[in-house]
Chains A and B, each alone.
Chain A
Amino acid sequence: MSYKIPGFRHPNLPKNELGYTTKDYEGAVSTLCAGCGHDSISAAIIEACFEMSIQPHRVAKLSGIGCSSKTPTYFLGNSHGFNSVHGRMPSVATGANMANRNMLYVGISGDGDTASIGMGQFVHAVRRNVNMVYICENNGVYGLTKGQDSATTDIGSKSKKGEPNALEPINLCAIALQLGATFVANSFSGDKSQLVPIIKAAIAHQGFSFINVISPCVTFNNVVSSTKSYDYIRQHMASTNSVDYVPPASEITTEYEPGTTERVTMHDGSVISLHKLDPNLDIHSRRSALEMIYEYSAQDKVLTGVLFIDPDADEIHKTMNTTTTPLRNLTEKELCPGAAALETINELHR
């Protein structure tokens, strides 16, 4: 691995609508282990944001503690980042979102963060439908503390130095669905062609977008006995759909056989085009999504793709009816009732 990002880039790097190249979306050099799934996810985020021409400084990256939570340093270097405390990213992101509803919030978390110490916060951010992209980089193992099983480790799965796990795993996509998440997807860090459009769709979605990304830990959990190794996922991965993200006012060019493609129009006018690989999934039905997850799981398959979208649900600001001006931009004029009103209040207490 290298310790310094070389400054040189190909002079003809393509530019997006803002005139930026992918270089403008990169961050510091990763300090994760070579081959870590998390780095592929960072690369997918960079690609998605570049292709969607998102202004990097209008993004806030938030995370908790753990290997996954280090990654916001490694993408979108012109965005503010916040590496908070273990498992508490959802509350910090909720607060940040309250202060300014007009930015894009990307929360990066791991399975320790999301399924254990921060489960309560995850659950409630989902319930509130906070407008954010929540990516759980799920490797089924505690990396920074060197290899303990996590709450998403499958029964019988065995990490490099562990015993076979005896406890029931937490399926984060299923939980998100049950809690009312308005966008739920499952993906794999090794499948960039699927992950990038899913991230784009999640960004386009107004509300809580949950993406569980299976992201193998090369150091502690990439062994034959593990169900979260590269080999295992490649052999057991099934896709319910392939996803195309079509920006607003763009022509849809990909053609599939009639009846096999579903188009979901998002709030910003973009279209998520889902080419169904399994006709049984109804993308607008939580029940259908849950059934599919368990059905595939029973066949030892890991179901990936966009599992559920509700593009019409109200995100938290809409529910609360907060002003369209970011709250942080309000001044004394809007916030302070002034001396005369205070005297009236005094009078009511005499």
Chain B
Amino acid sequence: MKRDIITNEFVVKFANVNGTGSASANKLFSRSVFRMGVPISPKNIFPSNIQGLPTWYEVRINEKGFLARRGGIDVMIGMNPQSMQRDIAEVEKGGYFIYDSTKPLDPGWLRDDIDFIGLPLTEKCREMYEDPRQRQLFRNIMYVGALVALFGMEIDVVKQLISDQFKGKEQLVAPNVKALETGFGLAQDSYPCPFAFRIARRNNVGNRILMDGNEACGLGAVYGGGSVCAWYPITPSTSVIDNFSRYCRKFRIDSETGAKNFAVVQAEDELAAIGMVIGASWNGARAFTATSGPGLSLMQEFLGLAYFAEIPTVLIDVQRAGPSTGMPTRTQQSDIITAAYASHGDTKHICLYPSTPRECFEFTATAFDLAERFQTPVLVMSDLDLGMNDNMSDPFEWDDARTYDRGKVFNRDDLENMQERFGRYLDIDGDGVPYRTYPGTHPTKGSFFTRGTSKDEYAIYTEAGEKYIGNMERLLRKWDTASEYVPKPTHCTTDKPCTVGVIYYGTSEAATREALYHLNNLHGISLDCLGIKAFPFTREVQDFIDSHEYVFVVEQNRDAQMRSLLINEFDYNPDQLVPLLHFDGSPITARFIRHEIRDWILQTTTTPRRRRK
């Protein structure tokens, strides 16, 4: 096959069996590319299972910095016989399929439009290692070594990463390096190296970092001053808590006494988890939980209490594919409406939609400020794609002069000097936000009864209609005030006259931005776009929609939930907002968005992913 050399712009996918230690080998590969200054975007595609089922790791390598899933595979490392047939089928024309040639390939699976490279990995491992576990683990490192040869990468970068990785366990460095070099040699013996896809050093990473969103949220909760964490294990949010705990152990344990400046409680279920968060927040601590769709469903009743009784609550929702148990290890943006209007009765909650690890970090830290400022739940709406995959991100920053916004709280002196009666729900400042007191503040002033029932300004139970309405309308005033405090949307406007806009949020950002770039370059279609970062929607969101004839709303769910939210909040004509929906559980691709918008605009189709009427 005659081939062009393609450098730093392709997609590599690893097909493995889960529970075989392949994840760390695959990560070693992607980090090596990253260290060579080439932007990458790895995605874990894994089953809801611990051992034995197919799992994939897809790495997009792109020196231009496009980090969404592109769609299509150029080089497949097929290490799992279970999935091999479809793995071969998935390779794009002109690609490569690399496999373990210890067992011959089924001739019926061969294709003549791709090249096959067989490496006798298992055979070599049998020769070199006695221990079956070692055979399995080193086979993974061997294929990494082979890729280093095939892609023409710098092997020293990989060796350095191995020694970084085993800091403190130096005896493991040499055997791993040996396996790496063995794989490197096997590739050279089997195929002319390097082959047509190349990875060459660039300086396109800058000072950016590679981190998953859950670690970023966990770290954001540490920096944001979260001191009480209550949670119940659920995929894909569990590692938010793991990371919060890990960083707390590092930074929040008194070196003299060993006492902890934090509390993490693993609750008996999500109802208890959110109850503990509300109890702790009511009592003046910064508290949070992390969960996913099923947990969010269970927390509904309590979220209504926190809204109505006005108790700060921080919740990180790492969304996964629903409904019900859905696809627990696949991604979606499908809790948008559930989160925005969680609980019975008239409720609305502040939601933040991070797109990158840096936003996960910042929004989580900010969520505590917003929750305490507005005495209400704040939901950070991450998802599995962002939460569990390494994402390239701008480095995190913190201003040491930053102080926590603890909101409106009367302290002992305030109460001591107060002449009038304390009114927990009095709108003193006219912004809808009342003053609260922490329990135990003053011997005779400032106590009140917190309740989920209707109450007057002094927290006294009432069913009087006008009191109820006054309170509900004050909550709306508070909501309007909040819209001035939440993160503003990001804008990206074209310099050409443009009547069509695109709205995205969360993890649809990278794919949308890339699609717009190609629409402009390949098809001459240039569009304005806006990334929503928060609910309540800020003025800018409305202005953006108002200034375009129609607007695509890109999202990863079936029912166009953000579009519904926009229509519901702003009374838009539904025709003005065109849904563009991807919801198969995989991260949305740039290719998909580009094709849908192109076809709509060129009118080859009139209903792209449109809901049936």
Contact = CB atoms under 8 A, between A and B. Distances in A.
Nearest to B357: A349
Interface string B427-462: 000000000011111111001111111000000010
B277 interface: yes
Interface string B242-280: 000001001110100111111101011101111111111
Interface string B194-217: 000000000001011111000000
A77 B228 CA distance: 28
Contacts of B400: 338-339
Given A77-B447, A81-B449, A84-B275, A349 B285 contact: no
A121 B302 CA distance: 14
A57 interface: yes
A267 interface: no
A94 B439 contact: no
B397 A96 contact: no
Nearest to B394: A346
B403 interface: yes
A131 to B, nearest CB: 13
A335 B443 CA distance: 28
Contact of B395 (A94, A324, A336, A346): A346
B216 to A, nearest CB: 10
Nearest to A123: B268
Given A85-B302, A121-B268, A332-B403, A346 B262 contact: no
Nearest to A56: B443
A99 B279 contact: yes
A331 to B, nearest CB: 8
B228 A99 contact: yes
B263 A328 contact: no
B278 A342 contact: no
Interface stretch (A6-14, A294-302, A315-323): A315-323
Interface string B64-101: 00000000000000000000000000000000000000
Contacts of B219: 345
A320 B260 contact: yes
B222 interface: yes
B485 interface: no
Nearest to B230: A95
A337 interface: yes
A88 B302 contact: yes
B237 interface: no
B443 A121 contact: no
B233 to A, nearest CB: 15
Given A95-B283, A339-B399, A121 B275 contact: yes
A341 interface: yes
Contact of A92 (B262, B276, B438): B276
B121 interface: no
A60 interface: yes
B261 A335 contact: yes
A96 B439 contact: yes
Contacts of A72: 449
Q: Classify chain B's interface size.
A: 35 or more
A344 to B, nearest CB: 10
Nearest to B267: A91
Contact of A342 (B35, B396, B453, B461): B396
Contacts of B35: 350
A57 B452 contact: no
Given A334-B252, A335-B225, A124 B268 contact: yes
Interface in B95-110: none
B272 A120 contact: yes
Contacts, number: 226
B227 interface: yes
A336 B34 CA distance: 30
A29 interface: no
Interface in A79-120: 79-85, 88, 90-100, 102-103, 120
B284 A57 contact: no
A144 to B, nearest CB: 12
Contacts of A57: 439-444, 447
Contact of B283 (A99, A322, A330): A99
B570 interface: no
B282 interface: yes
A55 B447 CA distance: 13
A95 B275 contact: yes
Contact of A335 (B34, B252, B269): B252
A64 to B, nearest CB: 10
A116 B556 CA distance: 39
Contacts of A345: 219, 396
Contacts of B259: 321-324
Given A100-B440, A124-B267, A124-B268, A60 B283 contact: yes
B223 interface: yes
B596 interface: no
Given A88-B275, A335-B261, A98 B280 contact: yes
B364 to A, nearest CB: 13
Contacts of A81: 447-450
Contacts of A328: 227, 280, 283-285, 438
A58 interface: yes
Please indicate which of the listed interface residues B227, B286, B442, B443 has the most CB atoms of chain A within 10 Å of its own CB: B227
Nearest to A57: B443
Given A95-B275, A337-B222, A339-B398, A55 B452 contact: no
Given A80-B440, A99-B280, A88 B398 contact: no
Contact of B280 (A90, A95, A102, A335): A95
B404 interface: yes
Contacts of A83: 449-453
Given A91-B267, A322-B259, A324-B259, A84 B305 contact: yes
Interface string B306-318: 0000000000000
Contacts of B302: 85, 88
Given A121-B268, A323-B259, A341-B251, A92 B228 contact: no
A96 B261 contact: no
B211 to A, nearest CB: 5
B128 to A, nearest CB: 32
A78 interface: yes
28 contacts: A57-B443, A60-B440, A73-B449, A80-B438, A80-B447, A80-B450, A82-B279, A82-B282, A83-B449, A84-B452, A85-B275, A91-B279, A92-B275, A96-B282, A98-B228, A98-B279, A100-B285, A120-B268, A121-B271, A121-B275, A317-B263, A321-B259, A322-B261, A324-B259, A332-B225, A336-B398, A339-B400, A342-B396
Given A95-B283, A99-B280, A349-B210, 12 more contacts: A57-B447, A85-B305, A91-B279, A98-B230, A99-B279, A99-B281, A100-B283, A327-B280, A335-B261, A337-B250, A345-B396, A350-B209
Interface of A: 55-58, 60, 62, 72-73, 77-85, 88, 90-100, 102-103, 120-121, 123-124, 128, 317, 320-324, 327-332, 334-339, 341-343, 345-346, 349-350
Interface of B: 34-35, 205, 207-211, 219, 222-223, 225-228, 230, 247, 250-252, 254, 257-263, 265, 267-269, 271-287, 301-302, 305, 395-400, 402-404, 437-444, 447-453, 461
5 nearest A-B residue pairs (beta carbon): A95-B279, A91-B275, A95-B276, A99-B285, A80-B439
